[in-house]
Structure 1
Amino acid sequence: MKIAVSTNKGGVLKTSITTNLAGVFAKEGKKVLIVDTDNQGNCYVSFGGNPDTLKSSIYDVLVNGHEIDKTIVSVHENIDLLPANDDMAFFEFDVLADRNKFPKPFSLIQSHLKMIEDRYDCILFDTPPNLGLVQGNVLSYVDNVLIPFQPESYSMRSLIKIIKAIHDFKEQTNKQLSILGVVATLVDSRTTLHSEIITECRKYCLQQNIKMFDVVIPRSVRFASSVAFERLPATLSADAKAQIVQNYFELYEEIKELI
């Protein structure tokens, strides 16, 4: 199972979804690998790490030939992480500037991950908020894309663009690629605007034969406080009864029905 949490918009909880779903999978006894491809390196931060101290990152594996086994970090029981840091900001330039060294620039992640994928029940990708070479590498490898959707003005326009891009990529590069579904994030149920936009999104997804998950991820300080004080994603924190934790377990159950 290879899932990318992806959209072309920043600040919509991609990292939170990736790490919290990893926590749920791990609690269900699944062996999980998180692959962070965003130069902010926040997946490592979510588990109490500092990306600036890494001796090797996903950039070094893909560009400098570092051994992937020596780069992967165990961050929790049943959860490993292939971490990222600021070096990933240079990935596209460094790879595309040397086509002799990298004749297949969109296959770098695939060529390295396929050597270890059998060790894991699930591989989850956190991705940057754009559709460049990094995103192309991820979409060349994964089977499914989970799209976070923040219900704000102009969000529908952004959603339509990412769905079209995924469909185009499927036709041209990865025939196995599918949209797992769309999940609403940072939702404030008290606002009429959010309710109206979510309704509009559900209607659009229905027309496009795309799953929109019933569960929504609300706007909550639980994400930040869990990482700041417990140095863990919320689904791995002590407060298992918190509503935000329950939301992720509900999302997991919906995902299970699709895969």
Structure 2
Amino acid sequence: MNQKGGAGKTTTVGQTAHRAVKRGKRVLIVECDPQGNSTLAFTQYKAGAHEARPPCSLADVLDPRTKRPTEEAIVHTHREGLDILPGGFKDLQAVADNLISQMGAERRLSTALEAVDDLYDHILFDTRPASDLITRNAMWAADNAVIVTEALEWSVSGLKLSLETIAEMREYVDKDLPIAGFVVNRFQSKRIDEIKWMEWIRAASAQQGIPILGLPVPFYAELSRLAESGTGIDENPKASPKMAVIGETYDAVLDAITA
């Protein structure tokens, strides 16, 4: 999670899911962002015309007017063992707006996932850059959180807001969400400003006892192309040695969230 967009949350979720499947695990990605980047990467559905959107989605599952079974909304991806629960694009936001005033609104996703929990070894949530009801639902359903950040001022500000939101969940709704670690994404080691913010992240990591998982993921076009097509690093037969090293960071993420 991170409350700034573009930090690399979808890439981190997708590649971590692929690493788990590589280990023989069954994984479900839950799309909690109306922008729908995970849905775009792993399915043929689009956010535009109605006929291009998922026939059943998380929006339909959470909507008290439809209450569609969770398993009906799950879509198999190209990779055996990796499924996704599409969010429903703008429909998800509309449903969230209607749920705000209802009892137990922040626990609807957790309840919905109980029906499919036994089908998967790991469930990963791709959250939006906001602390709205959808994100709080994901936080309530999760066992822990990974905060993804760039070594840039705006992204670090989003990291700070994420820490505050987790603290508020603990204080106001009695939800303790452990932070499994930080992931530093799109790092450019030759930029002076990024070196400075990387030092800040390391200091925050040491002060709060939150590990930085793996090595900083460098700014790399090949990784972006894989993410946009829903392809795992290990699925690319032409992956460079540099990509293999990047894959080790996602192994570290998987180890941290399953420890």
Instruction: Give the TM-score normalised by structure 1.
Output: 0.88
Structure 1 CA distance, aligned partners of 2:76 and 2:176?
29
Structure 2 CA distance, aligned partners of 1:216 and 1:157?
18
CA RMSD of aligned residues (A): 2.0
Q: Secondary structure at the match of 2:186?
A: strand
Equivalent residues of 1:34, 1:82 under 8 A apart: yes
Q: Secondary structure at the match of 1:180?
A: strand
Q: Secondary structure at the match of 1:81?
A: strand
Which is further off, 49-58 or 241-250?
241-250
Does residue 79 in structure 1 map to residue 82 in structure 2? yes
2:93 alignment counterpart: 89
Return the offset for 1:158.
Answer: 2.8
Change in Cα spacing, 1:231 to 1:176, as seen in structure 2 (3 Å) is closer
Q: Secondary structure at the match of 1:171?
A: helix
1:3 alignment counterpart: none
Does residue 38 in structure 1 map to residue 67 in structure 2? no
Q: Quick one: which amino acid aligns to residue 244 of structure 1?
A: M
Which is further off, 218-227 or 134-143?
218-227
Structure 2 CA distance, aligned partners of 1:31 and 1:120?
5
Q: Percent identity?
A: 24
Aligned counterparts, 1:4-153, within 5 A: 6-51=1-46, 52-63=52-63, 64-75=66-77, 76-84=79-87, 85-96=89-100, 99=101, 102-153=102-153
1:253 alignment counterpart: 252
Structure 2 CA distance, aligned partners of 1:218 and 1:88?
32
Deviations 1:153-197 (A, max 9, x none): 244333222112112212333544100111111111121221221
2:49 alignment counterpart: none
Equivalent residues of 2:13, 2:126 under 8 A apart: yes
Return the offset for 1:126.
Answer: 0.1
Aligned counterparts, 1:214-225, within 5 A: 214-225=214-225
Q: Secondary structure at the match of 1:218?
A: coil
Equivalent residues of 1:222, 1:234 under 8 A apart: no
Which is further off, 240-249 or 70-79?
240-249
Equivalent residues of 2:213, 2:249 under 8 A apart: no
Deviations 1:59-116 (A, max 9, x none): 01111211211110110211011012221121321212xx4xx421111101100121
Which is further off, 107-116 or 245-254?
245-254
Equivalent residues of 1:33, 1:122 under 8 A apart: yes
Equivalent residues of 1:48, 1:227 under 8 A apart: no
Return the offset for 1:232.
Answer: 2.4
Structure 1 CA distance, aligned partners of 2:94 and 2:84?
21
Q: Quick one: which amino acid aligns to residue 200 of structure 2?
A: E
Give structure 1 regions of 4+ aligned residues with deviation exceeding 6 angstroms.
none
Change in Cα spacing, 1:107 to 1:168, as seen in structure 2 (3 Å) is same
Give aligned pairs, total.
Answer: 249
Structure 1 CA distance, aligned partners of 2:38 and 2:156?
27
**Mind listing any 5+ residue stretches in structure 2 that lack a counterpart?**
47-51
Q: Secondary structure at the match of 2:210?
A: coil
Deviations 1:217-257 (A, max 9, x none): 111111333356x6524443333445235313333135415
Equivalent residues of 2:12, 2:250 under 8 A apart: no
Structure 2 CA distance, aligned partners of 1:207 and 1:74?
41
